[in-house]
Amino acid sequence: MRWAPISKPCELSARPNLGDYEQARAEFDWATARSQLSGLPGGRGLNIAHEAVDRHAAGVRAQATALRCVDKQDQVTEIDYAELRDQTGKFANVLREHGVQRGERVFTLLGRVPALYTAALGTLKADCVLAPLFSAFGPQPVFDRLRIGGGAVLVTTYRLYRNKIRQLRSALPDLRHVFLVGEPTAEPGTTDLADALAHADPAFDIPSTSLEDWALLHFTSGTTGAPKGAVHVHEAVVAHHTTAAQALDLRPDDVFWCTADPGWVTGTSYGIIAPLTHGATVVSDEGEFDARRWYHVLAEQRVTVWYTAPTALRMLMRHGPELASRYDLSALRYIASVGEPLNPEVVVWGQEVLGLPVHDNWWQTETGAIMISNYPSEEIRPGSMGRPVPGIDAALLERGEDGRALVHGGEVRELTGADVEGELALRPGWPSMFRGYLHDEARYAASFAGGWYLTGDIAARDADGYYWFVGRADDVIKSAGHLVGPFEVESALMEHPAVAEAGVIGKPDPMAGELVKAFVSLRPGHAPSEELRTELLAFGRRQLGAVAPKELTFDDDLPHTRSGKVMRRLLKARELGLPEGDLSTLEKAR
Ligand code: AMP
């Protein structure tokens, strides 16, 4: 069933940035978009941190609030653009003083605290590569990413260092400097960041930065192998800036809250970079999700544009309209959501309870910026991700038996017309497109065919060009908006002495979209029991943190393909009581 369109999505106090969609698409070109940014003085290139911070600090917005960080005790730290320029300049100087060269990787493993933002932007100023990690990851994902990314610097807290890194530090030979944020400690092999910053010069001359200089390294997951490091370059800022204007209707006087953690791509592209390039105020909340807390932040901080995720909206919805009515949300003028399918009920709930519909949009780590979106001035079709942003060409490609686009002699077949379904593909060439997977050219090359970037998502398109998410073409899991690679979870579980093998799937969940479920077979000498199940779940949590399995079933007869891989597709079909599909590659039937 399709829900009735919402034809007048927002009461807009000002003309939206994107007026007429068709006209905006027809008139758009990336060169003009680039000219909206100032570039480094003297024509020395384009640097994200200059666009986000220094150019505002040198202009009329110098005293405007850039960051408003709410801590767990509700204390607010405000930093204006001039101050942010100085703090990020100090951080960049600290990197230089410690011999960190341009292009080297600086990792952050921090909660949403002010130091995270200054480290991130200071790293970009120094033309080093920022690799932000999710602080709720366990030691294993942190270690793997630091190792793959060849991190030279890590900025973290003592607690996170002690719990997640200290033991494995000796296996990270590239990691030369660890800066600790917070209470000073005498931890060997680390430097107190506040101490280092206290002696640093705030003035930092951003070096010439080319469009293709690496800027960001975001890890994402596939179905096989280790996490992939998607590389983004400084030119990406053109897409961050433009799409924030078009799809989020962002303006300089906005108070913008993106609830994604900067450890994930949304939290960096839109939680840090895009709003600052507009000179807006970024709200950041150190606390975890809590319905009352979130309404309180929206009301208290007078948030005008809110970019959040379906799981959070579903949780708010569960608390009913009465809770929302207790807060003054009158400042709010625009709501957008990303990361996982947004049920139509939530779009309509937004309209009824918050007085604003939720604008779904779609993108992924590799695309670096919003690619498909609903817009303030255009009809919303609840349940649809919207239409491609100006400057982006999308297509649906015919799929083969493995569920992915059918590639024949290097060519693919584009599906035309209305109500077709295929693998969602994008025409490469936009500024925030990833430039590679670190150390993995083959995987990067395999992401393209017939002149298209293949997204791995299956979508449908209606007669008016609106895209509708259907599902993933592979086994990756989306749980509470976090992309989870089953291979990473399986490998971690198999570290336990009782586990012979594991198969991990995403099990549909009304709140989190999917939850991570593991099936494990045991080694000889171990028998299934409730105690062992509890122990394995706890082991998973210790190793993996927030992406650990929530459910675990013992299965001493895991289905395999003839090449010996666990058939996750079959595990999932059995779990859901769905048809088992093509079993021709099954090694042995039950
Ligand atoms: P990530 O790379 O972690 O940002 O995850 C990207 C993936 O999240 C996409 O390939 C989709 O599978 C999913 N996704 C992102 N946005 C949406 C959306 N609006 N609707 C449905 N799925 C989405």
Distances from the Cα of 195 to the Cαs of 192, 199, 200, 203, 550, in angstroms? 5, 7, 9, 17, 41
Tokens linked to 563: 């090449």
Q: Measuring from atom 3 of ligand 1, which residue has the nearest CA? A: 483
Q: Is 454 in the pocket of ligand 1 (CB under 6 A)?
A: no
Distances from the Cα of 174 to the Cαs of 122, 151, 555, in angstroms? 20, 6, 40
Kindly compute the dihedral angle of the four CA atoms of residues 387, 388, 390, 393, in this order, to the nearest 10 degrees: -140
Q: Measuring from atom 15 of ligand 1, which residue has the nearest CA? A: 339
* Cα(166) to centroid(ligand 1), Å: 33
The three-class DSSP label of residue 196 is: helix
* Cα(456) to centroid(ligand 1), Å: 10
- Residue linked to tokens 């379904």: 421
**pLDDT tens sequence for the chain (590 residues):** 678 888 766 655 678 999 999 999 999 999 999 999 999 999 999 999 999 999 999 999 999 999 999 999 999 999 999 999 999 999 999 999 999 999 999 999 999 999 999 999 999 999 999 999 999 999 999 999 999 999 999 999 999 999 999 999 999 999 999 999 998 888 999 999 999 999 999 999 999 999 999 999 999 988 888 899 999 999 999 999 999 999 999 999 999 999 999 999 999 999 999 999 999 999 999 999 999 999 999 999 999 999 999 999 999 999 999 999 999 999 999 999 999 999 999 999 999 999 999 999 999 999 999 999 999 999 999 999 999 999 999 999 999 988 899 999 999 999 999 999 999 999 999 999 999 999 999 999 999 999 999 999 999 999 999 999 999 998 899 999 999 999 999 999 999 999 999 999 999 999 999 999 999 999 999 999 999 999 999 999 999 999 999 999 999 999 998 888 899 999 999 999 987 776 776 765 44
Q: Is 457 in the pocket of ligand 1 (CB under 6 A)?
A: yes
Q: Do domains 1-35+235-392 and 81-234 have the same CATH topology?
A: yes
Q: Which CATH class is domain 81-234?
A: alpha beta
8 Å CB contact between 573 and 581: yes
Task: State the CB neighbour count (10 A cutoff) for residue 165.
Answer: 22
Q: Is 483 in the pocket of ligand 1 (CB under 6 A)?
A: yes
Q: Is 115 in the pocket of ligand 1 (CB under 6 A)?
A: no
Within 8 A by CB and 6+ apart from 566, the residues are 490, 501, 502, 503, 519, 558, 559, 560
Residue 365 alpha carbon, nearest atom of ligand 1:
2
Give the predicted TM-score (pTM) of the model.
0.95
Pocket test for ligand 1, best of 338, 364, 477 (most atoms within 8 A of CB): 364
Q: Measuring from atom 6 of ligand 1, which residue has the nearest CA? A: 364
b/e map of 34-49 (b: 16 or more CB within 10 Å)? beebebbeeeebbbbb
**Does the domain spanning 477-576 belong to CATH 3.30.300.30?**
yes
Domain positions in the chain are: 1-35+235-392, 81-234, 393-426+440-474, 477-576
Range 393-426+440-474: architecture per CATH:
Roll (2.30)
Q: Is 307 in the pocket of ligand 1 (CB under 6 A)?
A: no
Q: Is 338 in the pocket of ligand 1 (CB under 6 A)?
A: yes
Task: State the CB neighbour count (10 A cutoff) for residue 7.
Answer: 9
Residue 455 alpha carbon, nearest atom of ligand 1:
10
* Cα(539) to centroid(ligand 1), Å: 28
Q: What is the dotted CATH code of the domain comprising 1-35+235-392?
A: 3.40.50.12780
* Cα(474) to centroid(ligand 1), Å: 13
